[in-house]
Structure formats: structure tokens, C-alpha cells
Amino acid sequence: MVRIEYDAAGRAVKVPGLEAIALKRPEFFSGPRIWAESLAPALQAREAERRETIRKVWRKTLAAVMIPVILLLVLGLMNPFIFGGWMLFLFFGVPLSVVLIAGMDWLRVYAMKAATKQLVLGAACECFGFTYETLAPDVSKVTDYRSLLKAARAYQARHGPPGRKTGKRRRGGQTRVTTPFGSASFGSSHATGPECPTPAYDVLEDASLLPGHDTRHFEDLIKGTRAGAAFSLVEAKLETSGKNGGTVFQGMLFHVQYPGRFLGRTLMARSRWWKRGKAAKDLQKVSLVSSELDKAFTVYSTDQVEARALLTPDRMERLMALERHFSGGKMRGVFEDGHMTIALEAPNQFEAGSIFKPLVDSERFSSALVELGLVCDMIDGFLTRDWVKDKS
């Protein structure tokens, strides 16, 4: 059975069922058994709680929205002049009412969503021998606004501005470069938020391949070994503050440990987005063997021969397949020492389906398996070639 869903760009996507993909690769073979024996029963056990939680949060939210509206009507009848500021009243009154009346219930929905992701993605990673962590804040002990404030203070103390207690600053630093689309700042030496659970963030930041940002957030950590190499994948969201602040990067960070060390240093990025900055000043431009790839990507390296041998057409196609599947763009990466580190901007991934739909739906599981399979294809394409074997 194949179901049609739509991605963030509104394009139709075929979501295959478990039985349809079971024989497509060895890691999928145990999928139907894991679903039937452990995952489906675990989700079914949570379904009644999910329905009650969703019903309660919508009921309270509706009540929270109606209270300011009714209050405005009553006050308006008593004093017609008050209607002159009704937009301002609703703009502040409705959100405040929702937070006070339904805030705790929405927090329970968040906790339930995180728990569901842990179950589904954890089971999918089990098929590949990987591990999964949502990295979501633990709000299981939050029962009221006092405990929420306590948890928020603890989070701020742990992930506040770097250097506030130790005087240390993050390595890196902002580099301003000029691109065909204007100038931009890359790198950040003062970002607040949790430390990245993988080396990918520091590697990409030091190479000026991440935009300047003030805060960082990470979720969905996947770790394991593939083709004899340790790897990690984490989703990142980087934001700037201030009047014109907002999200400057949302996507995935990959870090793959190679079995051998590279002879040189190679930086790669989608063309018409990135231009060599200070981090690549000692590198020379590389012309790829494919003219189409040469137009699509900008590559700089200290070793021309190694870079061309590394970024072959079939390997680059694996990267672009990953980009297409996740509706991503602006792919960029660093190949240096014993690691391959790649960033891909993409909408939120690994969501394991909506919490507002029934939990017992095998497509939650099959979608996660397919996404992990594509990540493995990309890693396999770089690690299972003679070029790598010769270096180990």
C-alpha cells in the first residue's frame, strides 16, 4: 500500500507501507516484526491518553479565545468608545488568555509529541543498529507555572551566554563575505544555547559555512556506525535576535568519521550562494569532472587531485538525492583530516507524524525507515569505494 502525502513545498510524496519496503534493503526486513510486536502495541497504549489530551487542549484553547472576545463585547456595550482599541485588546488579550488557561495542556501535547518521536525513531534506528535521542527539554515534571519557571531558570543557567561564568568565548568568529546575492556574515562567537552533541557545528562554523547567529538549538540526534565508520546526524536551528532577527539556518548537520585521513582540505558548497572567505583563502578552486556539477557546486581545496577523486558524479548524486528528498538546499561541506562534515538546509525532519492524528499508523514507521535509508545511501556512496579503502 502506498499513501500520498505532501511535503513542505506542497509537492506530492509517495509514502510506502511497511510490507512494500520490507524487501528493498536488509535493514527494512525486520520492520514489520518490530512494528507488530513492540512499536504498534506501545503506541496503542498511548492512544487513549492522546485523544483525551488533544480534546482537553482544544476545549481549553477555545474557551481561552472566547473569554477576551466576550469581555470586549460586554465592555463595548457599557462604553462604545472602547471598540476603538479592540484590535489592540485582542492582540494582547487572546495570547495571554491562551497561555494562562491552556498553557499547561499545550506543554503536555509537546511532551507527548517528543515521547512519540522517541518511540518511532528509536525503533527505526534499531533496525539499522543506530541510536536516537530527541534532545527535547524534559518537561515531564512541569505541572504548573511555578515548576515551569523553575525549569526555565535551570535551562537558562545551563545554556546561557557563553563566557558569563568562565570568561571563555566560542572559537570561530564572524566573517563577512560578498556573494552574488549580497553580503552576509558567517560564523558566530557569541551564540547562546546548548552545545552541539556532535563536532559538526564547530567544524562548519570554523569553516565559515554557517550564517552568523545569536542562538542555537539542536534536536533529533542519530548516532551509529555505517560502512565501518562512526557517524552522527543532528538537526539544528540557528537564529538572530533584534528587530530584524529570525531563523537564519534550519537543517541537518552530518559528521562522518573516515577510516583514513584526507591528504588535503576541501570545502564544497552550492554555487551562487557561497563565495570563498577567510576560511578558504589558502585553497584553490577545483574544477569537477562533470560540467553540470561544476556549475552546480563551488569547490576549493588544497589538493586538486584528491578533491576531484572524492567528489565524483555518483557521490555528488547521492548528496543531491538527499537534498531532493528532504526538500533541502544550500548544501555545503568540509572534507578534512579524518571526517566529512555536511550541512543541508531543510524543513523540520524526523517528525514521526502528527500528534493530532491516531498514533497507530505504520506510515509513521515506514517514513522514518525510508529517511534513514537515504542517509545510509549517502554515507555508503562515500565510504564503500576503492578510493576510501586505499586510504585505510
- Confidence (pLDDT) at 152: 74
Q: What is the pTM of this model?
A: 0.79
Query: Which of 99, 130, 161 marks a domain boundary?
Result: 130
Q: Is residue 52 situated within a structural domain?
A: yes
Res. 288 pLDDT band, cuts 50 70 90? confident
CB atoms within 10 A of CB 363: 17
Q: How many domains does the chain divide into?
A: 2
Half-sphere exposure of 171 (CA within 13 A, CB side): 8
pLDDT at 10 exceeding the cut of 80: no
Q: Is residue 88 situated within a structural domain?
A: yes
83 CA to centre of own chain = 44
- Confidence (pLDDT) at 45: 94
| Residue from 185, 349, 177, 161 nearest 254 by CA | 349
Q: Which residue has the cell 552541539?
A: 196
Cα maximum dimension of the chain:
85
| Residue from 303, 369, 310 nearest 15 by CA | 369
- Confidence (pLDDT) at 79: 64
The C-alpha cell that represents 132 in the structure block: 536516537
Helix (H) or strand (E) holding 184: strand 182-186
262 CA to centre of own chain = 28
| Among 88-92, 185-189, 261-265, the least confident range | 185-189
Contact 301, 283 (CB under 8 A): yes
For the chain, the average pLDDT equals 80
The C-alpha cell that represents 379 in the structure block: 554515507
pLDDT at 27 exceeding the cut of 60: yes
Query: What's the CA gap between 197 and 232, in Å, rounded?
Result: 9
The C-alpha cell that represents 44 in the structure block: 496503542
- Confidence (pLDDT) at 73: 76
pLDDT at 295 exceeding the cut of 60: yes
Partners of 64 in the β-ladder: none
333 with 251, same domain: the answer is yes
Domain extent for 74: 2-130
Query: Which of 101, 130, 159 marks a domain boundary?
Result: 130
Res. 279 pLDDT band, cuts 50 70 90? low
| Among 60-69, 120-129, 221-230, 285-294, the least confident range | 285-294
59 with 161, same domain: the answer is no
- Confidence (pLDDT) at 275: 61
Query: What's the CA gap between 359 and 45, in Å, rounded?
Result: 10
Secondary structure of residue 183 in the 3-state scheme? strand
Sequential DSSP letters for 370-391: HHHHHHHHHHHHHHSSHHHHTT
221 with 126, same domain: the answer is no
- Confidence (pLDDT) at 43: 94
| Among 40-54, 114-128, 288-302, the least confident range | 288-302
- Confidence (pLDDT) at 157: 67
| Residue from 37, 227, 224, 220 nearest 134 by CA | 220
Half-sphere exposure of 318 (CA within 13 A, CB side): 18
Q: Is residue 139 situated within a structural domain?
A: no
CB atoms within 10 A of CB 284: 13
Res. 282 pLDDT band, cuts 50 70 90? confident
205 with 81, same domain: the answer is no
Query: Which of 130, 158, 190 marks a domain boundary?
Result: 130
71 with 174, same domain: the answer is no
Res. 77 pLDDT band, cuts 50 70 90? low
The C-alpha cell that represents 160 in the structure block: 546561557
Query: What's the CA gap between 276 and 117, in Å, rounded?
Result: 39
183 with 329, same domain: the answer is yes
Class of residue 308 by CB neighbours under 10 A (exposed 0-12, middle 13-18, buried 19+): middle
pLDDT at 325 exceeding the cut of 90: no
Helix (H) or strand (E) holding 148: helix 145-159
* pLDDT 10s digits, 177-206: 433 333 344 444 467 888 899 999 999 998
